[in-house]
Amino acid sequence: MTNTNGRFGVHGGQYIPETLMNAVIELEKAYNHYKNDPEFNRELTELLNEYAGRPSRLYYAEKMTKDLGGAKIYLKREDLNHTGSHKINNVLGQALLAKKMGKTRLIAETGAGQHGVATATAAALMGMECVVFMGEEDTKRQALNVYRMRLLGAEVIPVTSGTATLKDAVSEAMREWTSRIDDTHYCLGSVMGPHPFPTIVRDFQAVISKEIKDQILEKEGRLPDVVMACVGGGSNAIGTFYNFIEDKDVKLIGCEAAGRGIDTFETAATINTGKLGIFHGMKSYFCQDEYGQIAPVYSISAGLDYPGIGPEHANLHDTGRAQYVPVTDDEAVNAFEYLSKTEGIIPAIESAHAVAHAIKIAPTMSKDEIIVITISGRGDKDCAAIARYRGEDIHE
């Protein structure tokens, strides 16, 4: 019988070395205990509200709405959280959990650096040691975030193996965890990896859709027609979707990084170009060749530059509950500039992928329909890279 632990349809599971099995079992037990513990939840809520600045705003983007001339557009402002992205929601939860488990050291992978910064922040706050693995390529793309992590007291280890991007950072963090388990918690940043991570991270990010629901009901007296978010591993997207999954009339759209296009090899659009496989602890969709070798994916966005997608998303795709659309570098950069100029909000280049798709669909929808876009992070970190994309050579 196939393991039923942490399955979403056929996806998920625990494809990890035997060395780590007791660690994930211990984590699952601890999580199942603390998630129902009033004291744990009180502490976490206090951290989210007082430290991270929750609830984040649901902002009516009036100028964008008028400019596009269709559906009413709201932005869920995860960019306004402390550390500048949704990553802090999950990290505060996991760090608190790790601390309760008696762990004194956090390790993490990071792509754009947002999860690394969030983990370094939580470690500083809670007096824990922190080591962040980051692809060497990404340390160059996101030099400012490397400095931020070091400023926060974390050690940043550039990963040179493979393509030196997010997938290699995940591999290296897993290797590190195998070698040091007793005092170390692997603070995984997305809804991926072996069970129970996809469930834990989803639960900690579900606060996004819980708030959207309350806020939109208060503002509009009804649920939105579309909620959408960018998808790499898929943590802000699952957070955005989760409390709407049961509301069948709410359309869920995940925006994948198509890089230079899904008809090229320079893409990271997993649902649109990948196939079923087993990697990084889970069964899900992966960009890979015919022999199962993981593809060297590409996106302008370091945070979406990952060859897989979380197992719950893979299942939402299989069941048709959510739709996953590709968005190219060009479209994302245009949206990055568009939102900056139209609303005075500079989104992360990751989030700009979702904005780009909204720009496409909003005009086709009627004025009494509502779209909610999650702005997963702020774009300050991306300014230098976007300037270079536009041929302007500025350095941080």
Active site residues: 87, 109, 376
Q: What's the DSSP call for residue 108? A: E
Q: Which one, 46 or 183, has the nearer CB to another protein?
A: 183
* Contact pick of 90, 142, 288, 342 for another protein (by CB under 8 A): 288
Q: Taking CB under 8 A as the criterion, which residues in 147-166 touch another protein?
A: 161-162
How far apart, in whole angstroms, are the C-alpha atoms of residue 7 and residue 193? 12
Q: Does 60 bind another protein (CB under 8 A)?
A: no
Stretch that binds another protein, among 39-47, 105-113, 139-147, 284-292 (CB under 8 A): 284-292
Cβ atoms of 341 and 38 closer than 8 Å = no
For 53: left if phi > 0, alpha if psi spans -120 to 50, otherwise beta; the answer is: left
Q: Does 102 bind another protein (CB under 8 A)?
A: no
* Contact pick of 8, 16, 313, 325 for another protein (by CB under 8 A): 16
Q: What's the DSSP call for residue 23? A: H
The number of beta carbons lying within 10 Å of the beta carbon of residue 42 is 10
First to last CA, the chain: 54
Q: Which one, 25 or 245, has the nearer CB to another protein?
A: 25
Q: Does 280 bind another protein (CB under 8 A)?
A: yes
For residues 27 to 56, the per-residue mask of contacts with another protein, x marking binding by CB under 8 A and - elsewhere, is ------------------------------
The helix (H) or strand (E) run that includes residue 388 is: helix 383-389
Shortest CB 25 distance to another protein, Å: 9
Q: Which one, 23 or 52, has the nearer CB to another protein?
A: 23
Q: Which of 256, 232, 103 is nearest to 165 (CA)?
A: 232
* Contact pick of 127, 246, 263, 293 for another protein (by CB under 8 A): 293
What does residue 229 show for φ and ψ, rounded to 5 degrees? -160, 160
Map tokens 């099995």 to a residue.
Answer: 21
Q: Does 291 bind another protein (CB under 8 A)?
A: yes
What does residue 227 show for φ and ψ, rounded to 5 degrees? -120, 140
Shortest CB 273 distance to another protein, Å: 15
Kindly give, in sequence order, each residue whose CB lies less than 8 Å from that of residue 176, ignoring residues fewer than 6 positions away.
107, 131, 133, 184, 186
Residues of the shown chain interacting with another protein in the complex, contacts defined by CB under 8 A: 1-3, 5, 13-23, 161-162, 167-168, 171, 174-175, 178-181, 275-281, 286, 288, 290-294
